[in-house]
Structure 1
Amino acid sequence: AGDFRFDEAILMPPHQAADMVWHAGLIGQDAAGKPTGWADIHPHLFHANTDDRVYFVGDLMGMISDQFGHYPKSGHVANYIGRIVAKYIAQRVAGQEVTPLLPDNLCYMMVNTEPQEEISVKFTYELDASGKVIQTQTDMDVRTADLVPEDFAWARSKFSDFLGI
């Protein structure tokens, strides 16, 4: 690919599900039968397609929808789906039917520090009439200081949720 000049960079190795998922035989396959590298997951119940007692949360999650592919590999989504899965397990233990829930995703990006300005992108998900997960994306592309307090409030709420602080 050649040399690339950069002032700052994020270098990421190839991304896929952890070895545990491979060893358990829970990796999805594409139409040709080739492993996808991601967990073979029910798109809105978040359990393995081959075993409804095994739930997936986080970056290992495979294809959700042919409209958008995978959920973003973000802590926000993993935390949200973790909470959904906890509700699903509680419903099953109580002998109730599982009520499908879907996450959302929100990403704030500080694009200037002096003065502080941000943009954001929000994703919402819903099931269409056929049961397919559909994504709607809302971009806030105009740099604004108005998003800064929202971002810090969001971060505080996530830290509180993740870490109990």
Structure 2
Amino acid sequence: MERDSSDSKKNTIEEPPPPYTPTASATSSTNPVPRETDHLKASAPKTSYSNPYPAIPNPTYGTSPDTVILTPAVPLTDIKDQPVVTTCPHCRKVVLSHTRYRNGSANWLASLALMCFGLNGGCCLIPFCLNDLKNVIHECPNCGRIMAEYARLNGDVNIYRGR
């Protein structure tokens, strides 16, 4: 019998209760229940805020859409691994350098270290695939000549003088 009563409980579908509708006596009450935020509304000032500072329009640097503003030129002795705005020692133009990578001392040293630790079978060639170990060459996009080379191992900059 207990089995039948549990089956009948499972088969009954419970309907949700009807939505709440306030009665006329609850809405016409002369003493409503105060809320937590009622005291905040009464003490809040009824002033509006106006911004005393006028809006400043964005500055325009030229009428042509081709106008480009560059940062001050960086000396070649301060370059690292990112392209920089600098003066080419060959053509004397202020340019944004073009970078490329060349295997350097850091690649060879890392490869030798991997061979010493017994990682033969091609693992010692992995450093030659990593740009983070390679030296960075900065070229002038105007004349196409090499301006400087940044060595990763010791941080030195080799400047190629022009003319």
TM, length-normalised to structure 2: 0.27
Mark the structure with the bigger radius of gyration.
2
**Structure 1 or 2: larger strand share?**
1
TM, length-normalised to structure 1: 0.27
